[in-house]
Each structure stands twice: as C-alpha cells, then as structure tokens.
Structure 1
Amino acid sequence: MKAPLLELVTLISSGCMTEEEIARIADEADQAYADPQAFLQANPDINYDDSFPIPLGEWVVIGSLPDTVLFQADDYEQLFSQIVASFGDSVHFVLNPKQLAKTEPLKALNRIQVQMSSLYPEKGGYVLVDFSEPLDDELQAVLVYTCDLQRMMQLAVQVGIYAMPALEALRAEA
C-alpha cells in the first residue's frame, strides 16, 4: 500500500511538500493501515479511536497534510480564502473570497473552479477535489493539477480514500 500512498500524496501536494514529508506520511499511513493496533501502541500521542468514520491510515494521511494542501472550511468563502492564502502574494486571483459571501453553493463552487482552472495552464489548471470524510468542517478538499486528476482518482480508489471533483459532487447532490 505504500507505493500508491506515496504517489497519491505526491499528486495532491502539487509541489507544496518535500519528498521527505511525502515519504514520511506514506510510510506512517502504510503502517497504520497494515496494523492499526501496533501503530497506536507505537504512537500513544495519536488521538484516534474506533468512533472515527475513517480508517486509521486515512486519518494519518488527512491529519498529516499541511493547510497549504488540505483545505477545510464551513463555507466556500472560507475555503477560497484558504486556497488564496496557500498560493501567497505571488499569484493574482481575479475572484475575491468576499464575492462568494452571499452566493449559493453551486455558483460559488463554479466560480472557484473557473478561477482554479485558469492557473498553471501548463498543467491544465487545478481541480478542487473533495477528499476523504470531513470530520470537523462542512468542506474538505485538495487541489490537483487537471492533468493528474484521473491518476489521482485511481489511486484514491486503490487506497480506499473518498475523492471526487467538488463541482461534480455538488452537481450530483443538486
């Protein structure tokens, strides 16, 4: 399971994490998937129990991703604010998070996706992807290069972590 975890984390990190960070997350998650009890005994500081709706290995992946990779929020204005902050001042966004404040979810998410699709054209832009089961927030997503989306989705299925392009998922709910 380590190889697909390594590739999955690499794809969702979109260059925001070092190879060492990615390898550590994949290694720890692999151990947690393989033997949850042994992993918990070796890591007593881990705050996980059987009431969580996701497996320990998935919880390790989610809990290890920095806030420049995993975005968690209760609304699209907050989510987009986090995305903008993750890019820093060097990237200019046409869309402003405040413009999403009173916008219905589908329109807000569509605007975010249009903005993300226009960035990094060499990779086809980014796709906002719902990732795993949100535990404390309404929304939980990662950005993936459009050119990597299909492979990322295959790997998510292979390791058993829910992933779905956010706009597609919201349209399916409507």
Structure 2
Amino acid sequence: MKDQLIELIGKISSGCMDAEEVANVADEAAKAYADPGAFLAANPDINYDDSFPIPLGEWVVIGSLPDTVLFQADSYMNLFAQIVESFGPGVTFNIKPKQLAKVEPLTALNRIQIQLSAMNKEKGGYVLMNLSQPLDDELQAVLVYGNDVDRVVELCAALGIAAAPSLEALRIALYV
C-alpha cells in the first residue's frame, strides 16, 4: 500500500512536493490505513472521528497536500483563482477567474480545462481531477498531467479513493 500511496501522491503533486515530503505523507497515511486506532492514539492532536465520510488514511493524504496541490472552493471562479495563484506570476493564463463568475458550471469547467490542457504539452497538458470527497467545500480537485490520468484513476481505485476527471464527472452528473 505504501508504494501505491507514494506513486499516487507523487503523480497528484505534479512536482510540487519533493520525494521526502511524498514519502512522509505516504508513510503516515499507510499507518493510518493499517491501524486507525493506534494512529489516532499516537497522534492525539488529529481532529478525526468516525463521522467523517472517508477513511482515516485517505483523510491523512488529503489533509497533507499543500494548497499548491489540492484546490478547494465553492465556485469554479474561486477554484481557478487558486490554480492560477499556484502557478505564480510567471505563468500567463488566457482567461481570468472573474470571467467565470457568471457562467454555468459546465461552461466554467470547460474553459478551465481547455486552458489547462494547453499547458505542459510534453506531459499531456494538465487535467483537473476531483479527488476524494469534499468535506468543507463544494469542489475539491488536483491537477494531474494528462499522461498520468489513467494511472491516477487506477491507483485511486486500488486505494478506495474517489477520483475522476472533473469535466467528465460534471458532464455525467448533469446528463444522467
């Protein structure tokens, strides 16, 4: 499990976390998955209980991702603003977050995905992916290189973590 966690965290962090950070998060999460009671006893400062809709190990993974990796918001405008901020001022985007304020969610997400797909072409662009179950916000996503999407979905399935490309998931939700 730890090797799967290392691979998953490495892929969803898209280079924003170094190997040591990835290994530390994977180690903590593996311990939490293996024996939640012992993990909580060893970490009394952790604010987790059985009312959370995700397992403790998954909660450790999600809670350990920096805000340059895990984006959480209640609107696509705010989600995109976080994404733009994570890239820093040296990266130019063709759309601005405020341009997403008054458009339908599917339109907003499509515009975001078109922008992200055009970046980092040698790695297949970026794909915005829903990850886990949002706890405090409507939206919770990570950026994954397009070339890694299938492997990330496969790893998440093996670990029991919900994951899907955001645009595809919204289309399915709207048209089912």
TM-score range, shorter chain: over 0.9
In the TM superposition, what are the counterparts of 1:45-56 in structure 2 within 5 Å? 45-56=45-56
Residue pairs, 1:22-33, within 5 angstroms: 22-33=22-33
TM-score, scaled to structure 1: 0.99
Residue 138 of structure 1 corresponds to 138
The answer to whether 1:88 aligns with 2:88 is yes
Quote how far apart the aligned CAs of 1:110 are.
0.2
- TM (norm. structure 2) is 0.98
Residue 37 of structure 1 corresponds to 37
C-alpha separation between the residues in 1 aligned to 2:117 and 2:131? 18
- Distance in 1, Cα, partners of 2:55 & 2:153: 18
| Offset of residue 156 of structure 1 | 0.4
RMSD: 0.4
- CA offsets 1:130-174 (integer angstroms, 9 cap, x no match): 000000000000000000111111000011100000000000011
State the AA in 2 paired with 1:39.
F
The number of residues matched between the two structures is 174
Report what 1:9 is aligned to. 9
Match of 2:162 in 1: 162
What whole-Å deviation, never above 9, does each CA across 1:10-51 have from its counterpart, x for those lacking one?
000000001111000000000000000000000000000000
User: How far did residue 124 of structure 1 move?
Assistant: 1.1
- C-alpha separation in 1, matches of 2:96 and 2:39: 43
| Residue identity opposite 1:123 in structure 2 | K
Q: Distance in 1 between matches of 2:158 and 2:6?
A: 12
Q: Distance in 1 between matches of 2:164 and 2:152?
A: 10
**Match in the other structure for 1:106:** 106
For residues 76-109 of structure 1, what are the alpha-carbon distances to aligned partners after superposition, in whole Å with 9 as ceiling and x for unaligned?
A: 0000000000000111100100000000000000
Distance 1:24 1:119 in 2: 29
C-alpha distance in 2 between matches for 1:14 and 1:90: 17
| Partner Cα separation in structure 1 for residue 90 and residue 147 of structure 2 | 23
Instruction: Give the match for residue 18 of structure 2.
Output: 18
Q: Work out the CA distance in 2 between the residues paired with 1:63 and 1:47.
A: 11
Counterpart amino acid of residue 117 in structure 1: S
Q: Secondary structure at the match of 1:143?
A: strand
Runs (4 or more) in structure 1 with deviation over 3 Å come to none
Distance 2:124 2:31 in 1: 34
- Alpha-carbon distance in structure 2 between the residues aligned to 1:152 and 1:138: 22
Opposite residue 28 of structure 2, the aligned amino acid is E
In 2: Cα distance, 1:66 partner to 1:31 partner: 20
Partner of 1:48, secondary structure, is coil
State the partner residue of 1:64. 64
SS in 1 for 2:142: strand
